[in-house]
Amino acid sequence: MSNVYILGGKQTDFSRNWAREGLEIYDMFAEAMDGAIADAGIEPAQIEVGHVGNFVGELFTGQGLINGFFGQLHPELAAIPTSRHEAACASGSIAMLSAMRDIEAGHYDVACVLGLEFMRNVNGRTGAEYLGAAAWQGHEATDCDYPWPHLFDRITREYQQRHGIHSEHLARIAEINFSNARDNPNAQTREWQFPSGCFSENDELNPVIEGRVRKLDCGQITDGAACVILASECAAREHAAKLGLKLADIPRLKGWGHRSAPILLERKLQLSAGMPLLFPHVQTMMEDALRRGGFTHISDLDGLETHDCFSVTEYMAIDHSGLTAPGESWKAVEDGRITREGDFPINPSGGLIGLGHPVGATGVRMALDCARQVSGRAGGYQLARAQNMATFNLGGSATTCVSLIIGVGS
């Protein structure tokens, strides 16, 4: 594929409650976009196309057509082509892929990709109802209070049936991600305090939400936005020269994978019945990304920013990516491989559990964090070794799945 580079980006502070500050979704869009433009060192007029990922802005805020904010914010952009993309929690990654296609096709040299979600202006039950739009309405999760904890409990039970799964390994994943988040100045939970014994099956400290899913297994309801500036090789070369850098020092999108599956979780599990992996299309997606990036195995990379809307989601990512054999994700949890000090760190940012999960922003945020890691700009959560990193972002019950490989060097 033609080379696409990440010139810079911006993530908002995911601990903020924008409604309580008297702000609107437009204010969030503006802060992220202007921050990305400043970080990339470009002028607004250099942006030739805009893409935005957002899941359910209409439900939480009543606002649609969010791509109209590009031209509203900067008059120089009033006539550029813009699009909004929806793929539930993978909305941001689909926006990334769409911008990449624009640049790869040679249509444009500089693209702005922004993802955002405004979610903390309603109570938890209403928010859960709105987020349930990514399930098949009227066909699944109809007899529960919280649709997504219910569905991911079903995934946990399927793991139990096929391989066995221990709650202490799921709790350890959550504990690692909360710990990583303490060093991330934009993490929603960076100042949270956790009493001794909470990462356990203690019903008082870690109450059950649905089935085997407990409170600390869950990703957060988050307000936030992330934005990146993408560029063609020609534009990136000019950018590098202006900054006195080598082109190889600019983070590049080296590979990508994108696969989808039926919306109904039970249909997915039926299709994989008798197989070791619950979601074979996730494995195929990861293999696609590695092949396109010129890599053979996930361990050829230096780490992964993965979807952990629930701790079992990260557990699934471990074996489906090939880091362990099917059903043996627990080994990577027990031996410490996935910690920030391990040989394959997962979610050094804190992930969706620790950093936060503003749904439409997550895929863009993952890409931005990987770009920061490989360019040595991750600050307090910088990995000791990071030249090539991957993302894994999913929407629904792995209905839409995207992986990006981002790295520097050849």
336-362: per-residue pLDDT in tens?
999 999 999 999 999 999 999 999 999
Tell me what the mean pLDDT of segment 50-61 comes to: 98
- Which amino acid belongs to residue 159? Y
Asked if the structure places residue 139 within a domain, the reply is no
In a domain, 18, yes or no: yes
Residue range 374-403: average pLDDT? 97
70 within domain boundaries? yes
Query: What is the average pLDDT score of the chain?
Result: 97
Q: Say if residue 326's pLDDT is above 80.
A: yes
pLDDT of residue 410 exceeding 90: no
Query: What is the tens place of the pLDDT at every residue in 179-196?
Result: 999 999 999 999 999 999
Per-residue confidence band for 1, with pLDDT thresholds at 50, 70 and 90? low
The strand pair at 304-306 and 388-395 is best described as parallel
Q: Is residue 50, in this structure, part of any structural domain at all?
A: yes
**Residue 20 located in a structural domain:** yes
Percent of the chain with pLDDT over 90: 98
pLDDT at 316: 98
How many domains are contained in the chain? Answer: 1
Helix (H, G, I), strand (E, B) or coil at 31: helix
Evaluate the CA torsion angle 250, 405, 228, 344 in order and state its sign.
negative
Separation between Cα atoms, residue 200 and residue 216, nearest integer Å: 9
pLDDT (average), residues 240-259: 96
* pLDDT tens profile 125-157: 899 899 999 999 999 999 998 999 999 999 999
In a domain, 397, yes or no: no
Q: What percent of the chain has pLDDT over 70?
A: 100
pLDDT the model gives residue 2: 86
Is the pLDDT at 17 greater than 90, yes or no?
yes
Domain contains 344: no
Alpha-carbon distance of 256 to 78, in angstroms, equals: 31
CA-to-CA dists, residue 7 to 47, 49, 89, 238, 294, angstroms: 12, 15, 24, 11, 22
Contact 28, 12 (CB under 8 A): yes
**Chain segment 262-275, per-residue pLDDT in tens:** 999 999 999 999 99
| Whole-prediction pTM | 0.97
Is it the case that residue 285 has pLDDT exceeding 80?
yes
What mean pLDDT do residues 45-70 have? Answer: 98
Q: Is residue 71, in this structure, part of any structural domain at all? A: yes
| Overall average pLDDT of the 204-230 stretch | 97
Give the pLDDT mean for 376-402: 97
3-class DSSP state of 95: helix
The CATH number given to whatever domain includes residue 232 is 3.40.47.10
pLDDT (0 to 100) of residue 185: 98
Note down the domain range covering 69: 4-122+221-243
